[in-house]
Structure 1
Amino acid sequence: MNTLSTNDHRRDFAGMTYVYPVLSRRAGGVSVGINLNPNNACNWHCVYCQVPDLVRGTAPDIDLGLLERELTAFLSALTPGDYLARHVPEGLRVIQDIAFSGNGEPTSAKGFDRIVERVAACRDAAGLATVPIRLITNGSLVGREEVRRGIARLAAAGGEVWFKVDAGRAEDIERINGVRIEPATVAHRLQTCAQLAPTWVQTCLFAWDGQAPTEEQIDAYLACLDAAGVDRLEGVLLYGVARESMQPEAPRVAALSADTLDACAARIRESGLTVTVSP
């Protein structure tokens, strides 16, 4: 019998195209994932990404009817059914969220705002209106009107955004995320998102060629968050690499010690932000 594990986030666990369950360290229980990028296409290339055969690109056209049927059926199996008892370790059998995550940038899907609306409707129809809907995003497409509408609809449904910020210098962003972006642009996008919905910053810290992030790099990261407006943010979700990268850069990426992550968290807390740590 297959059992969910925090170290195994396979998108095909439930045998569906768009819907998959994971046991999430950061959510603290079962997360029902919505994978809008089954083609493994993303507009970023993060060196720690666990998606195999990752390619540059955007989400394919989404079969919204199929997504609704899969989500409705899966939520039905989770609630009155015995799915949790069969596949989830005791003590973790709780649905913590429905999350737009998956194998690429979810906001690249056409009609993202309509997708959010339909997912919220499926959740409510399943009697799970109190379960939050989360968007896990690199924030690169918040300039699009339909993405901003989708984020606003997410907020109206009681949801929140986990917005990726891994570094605060252009050269570090390029090295880690595979895109050339100025920190001021990241800060502006983060600020825009936080004005639309409750927004957490999601940050992955790791050793690169055996070297932990330097004081200068942490200072630049904090300056980026400060430019976005610390008072607008819910806090920081700080995490390490618990699963092996599937990218060519994998040999250069290694987990930091729990003590090092905790020290970085302490630095971030000095700025007034709430920080949670997932080694």
Structure 2
Amino acid sequence: MASQLTLPDICPLQNHEFMNNGNLGTTDHNRDSAGLTYVYPVVSRRAGGVSVGINLNINNACNWRCIYCQVPELKRGAAPCIDLALLEQELRGFFHELLHGDFMEKRVPAWAHRVNDIALSGNGEPTSAREFEQVISLIGRLQQEDALPSSIKLVLITNGSLLARNYVQQGLRKMAQLNGEVWFKLDRASSAGMWQVNSTHTTIDRVRQHLALSVSLCPTWLQTCWFMLDGEFPGKRDEDDYLNFVSGLLRNNIRPEGVLLYSVARPSLQPEASRLSALPEQQLELFAQRIRALGIPVKVAV
């Protein structure tokens, strides 16, 4: 892949600490793994390769507080102002090292030696950054100027709570033109469930409205974390609520691309951490089968 790329005027990041930080794995999504401000690489089990993460919430602020969140000292709030010039510098330099240097050989397991996506995720809700649309435009420009392979996806991992904002909708429209897709968080499909898992008072009706907007603007997957709490599997009521929600979407011709179903893989840094444990693969697959029966694809990651 590197032989097909020409990246002009890039200063390689050979002296950055990520060159010597050890191997990456699916259980380590450290936002500081590259020694940079905004950019960090991870090996994504769901994506099946290297994901170039962009962390816009460098202040560890989010408008939700999911009990499985791995962000240290998580606080309520929004992303700070984004230094777009610094973000561009970091992206250019990291792409050069990733595609022309020995990063893959030194840091990435052999099975993941491909660049799968650029992912806006990080330490909070990325769409809370007022520069969100400008960030998408910047990524699109770099993809074109640096002739990055068109197979590299642009992924937004979001709780979907800010979809009513115009700049977010404009950003999603641009994403749709850049091989983009949205991973829209839906861990529970009831107000009580969302409060328990995500610590938000968002209503399920608002989730439905925002999801419909997302689907209309950019290809959208539902991203669902299913786990054990206090040693117990999610209840039948949780499953039924979820299935009824998805059925309602399909009846109203709101059709996500599918569901990304997974369980916890890394320790939570929230007060509930000791109460959480991974759901066995067999249980995930049983739930996935119930979702597939509705006529929607499901990808299970363990």
TM-score scaled by structure 2?
0.90
Partner SS state of residue 54, structure 2:
strand
Instruction: State the partner residue of 2:257.
Output: 234
Q: C-alpha deviations, 1:101-137, integer Å up to 9, x for none? A: 0000000001211110101212232322411100000
Partner SS state of residue 224, structure 2:
strand
Instruction: State the partner residue of 2:139.
Output: 119
- Of 167, 171, 174, the residue aligned with 2:188 is 167
How many Å apart are 1:88 and its aligned residue? 0.8
1:1-279 alignment to 2 at 5 Å?
1=20, 2-130=22-150, 131-229=152-250, 232-279=255-302
Distance of 1:252 and 1:184 partners within structure 2: 29
How many Å apart are 1:204 and its aligned residue? 0.1
Distance of 2:276 and 2:62 partners within structure 1: 20
Distance of 1:123 and 1:33 partners within structure 2: 15
How many Å apart are 1:145 and its aligned residue? 0.3
Match for 1:55: what amino acid? K
Deviates more, 1:246-255 or 1:84-93: 84-93
How many Å apart are 1:210 and its aligned residue? 1.4
Distance of 2:278 and 2:223 partners within structure 1: 16
Deviates more, 1:57-66 or 1:116-125: 116-125
Deviates more, 1:112-121 or 1:194-203: 112-121
Is this contact kept in 1: 2:62–2:124, CA < 8 A?
yes
Partner SS state of residue 27, structure 1:
coil
Partner SS state of residue 112, structure 2:
coil
The alignment yields a C-alpha RMSD, in angstroms, of 1.1
Name which one, 1 or 2, has greater alpha-carbon Rg.
2
Deviates more, 1:258-267 or 1:229-238: 229-238
How many Å apart are 1:70 and its aligned residue? 0.1
Distance of 2:156 and 2:116 partners within structure 1: 13
Is this contact kept in 2: 1:261–1:277, CA < 8 A?
yes
Distance of 1:228 and 1:146 partners within structure 2: 25
How many Å apart are 1:231 and its aligned residue? 5.3
Distance of 2:103 and 2:112 partners within structure 1: 12
Q: C-alpha deviations, 1:190-231, integer Å up to 9, x for none? A: 111000000000000001111111122111112222333365
Q: C-alpha deviations, 1:6-36, integer Å up to 9, x for none? A: 0111111110000000000111010000000
Partner SS state of residue 39, structure 1:
coil
Q: 1:228 to 1:192 in 2, by over 3 A?
A: farther
Distance of 1:162 and 1:228 partners within structure 2: 16
Listed as ranges, the gaps of 5+ residues in structure 1 are: none
Distance of 2:248 and 2:144 partners within structure 1: 37
Distance of 1:179 and 1:153 partners within structure 2: 28
Distance of 1:173 and 1:118 partners within structure 2: 33
TM-score scaled by structure 1?
0.97
